[in-house]
Amino acid sequence: MLLRSSIVFLFTILFAEAQEFLTSQDFFNAQFVDTSKHVKPNVNDVRYHRRRYRRGSVVALEMDKWPNGRIPYLLSSAYSTEQRAVLAKAISSYNAKTCIRFVPKQPTDRDYVMISKLEGCYADFARVGGRQQVSLADECVDYATVIHELMHVIGFIHEHQRDDRDGFVTILWSNIIEGANTDFDKLISTGLSHYGEQYDYFSIMHYERNEGSRNGGNTIEAKQSAFTHLMGKSTEFTSSDLKRINKAYQCYGYLSGTSGTLSQNRFAPSGQQQNFGWFGQRRK
């Protein structure tokens, strides 16, 4: 009887967490969040690397976009008031700068995102179907980290995984920690499009030079060496990040006035579901 009661109690807690959303108070508090500071998670463990695949070749994931840019979500109740403000700030930025809309899940929504405190920082790539996970542990609830992980949710890979990356960066495979190699793989597609834009070292989706390092050495070096110590340092969307989001989701009303280079795409191994997260001391 005690065991059964414990199971019922645990289920009740989990169910209650799944019903939470950000409130108007959270969005009010968001205006006080300092987005210029980026506190990196202190994780150097392969456990913070999450990746899941579905079978298939690399093709455009047009079918895996979120219809009309609408992304239903549920939120764990485990987040503090301050953390909820950071999450609200990130979502507010998407609302203000793109036509992507993270909205409270309705009973009729089959596909949705569950934002929870699990182990590390990671997100399922694009629209998986049904419930999909975004993990934002305490060390991950940082504005730059959140917008990075949510860009994975809407269908964007890491910048250094572009099919044309070899013209811009060199991957130092011998320095990459065991188990992280796949996060440095180049994703190739015959139908790949970068929306006519060039590689962007400053994209919010770019790794820093020593992410996933087993020895502190560089794992990525820029072909233009001056950029090696600068790439992956962004604390905000670049204009290129916003341009590619808005082009991918046909957010025509948001394209005016943006400038810069598009640095990312919404392609990944088709049929291969990737789960992106933090690795080393940066988001993945």
Q: Which residues are catalytic?
A: 149
- Alpha-carbon distance 66 to 112, whole Å? 10
- Alpha-carbon distance 236 to 91, whole Å? 13
> How does DSSP assign 28-91, residue by residue?
HHGGG--TT--------SGGG------SS-EEE-GGGSPGGGEEEEEE-TT--HHHHHHHHHHH
Q: Was 158 annotated as part of a binding site?
A: yes
> How does DSSP assign 153-186, residue by residue?
HHT---GGGSTTGGGTEEE-GGGBPTT-GGGGPP
Q: Was 148 annotated as part of a binding site?
A: yes
Q: Write the CB contacts of 113 (distance below 8 Å, at least 6 apart in sequence).
A: 71, 72, 73, 74, 102, 124, 131, 132, 133, 134, 153
| Annotated binding residues for Zn(2+) | 148, 152, 158
| Annotated binding residues | 148, 152, 158
